[in-house]
Amino acid sequence: MTITKQRICYVCRQPKSVDKLIRVARIDGKYIIDMKGNANGRGCHIDPACVEKAIKNKALHKSFKGNVPQEIYETLAKYAEKV
């Protein structure tokens, strides 16, 4: 029996498999889209279906308790389209 890691989407609060979520991480004040999901630092998981709502509500600002550059939201939207 395989155990799949689950995380909760920050936007919809539904548990999802880690491989179906996009992780945004803050490392030493810089924000990245963590493709592999194993970068150090504070992270926030978002379901690709919730990306538009995350952008509209500035969810990353709330999660990281600070200003997140607009480029990260744009990159997140592009990455969600590919997934």
pLDDT 10s digits, 31-80: 999 988 889 999 999 999 999 999 999 999 999 999 999 999 999 999 88
In a domain, 16, yes or no: yes
Whole-model pTM: value is 0.88
Do 45 and 7 form a contact (C-beta atoms < 8 A)? yes
CATH code at 51? 3.30.1230.10
**Residues forming beta bridges with residue 25, ordered by sequence position:** 32, 43
* 41 DSSP 8-state letter: S
Rounded Cα distance between 68 and 74, Å, is 11
CB neighbours of 83 closer than 8 A, spacing ≥ 6? Answer: 22, 48
pLDDT band at 7 (very low <50, low <70, confident <90, very high): very high
Do the domain assignments include residue 1?
Answer: no
Task: Supply the range of the domain harboring residue 51.
Answer: 6-82
**Inside any domain, residue 78:** yes
Name residue 49's amino acid: A
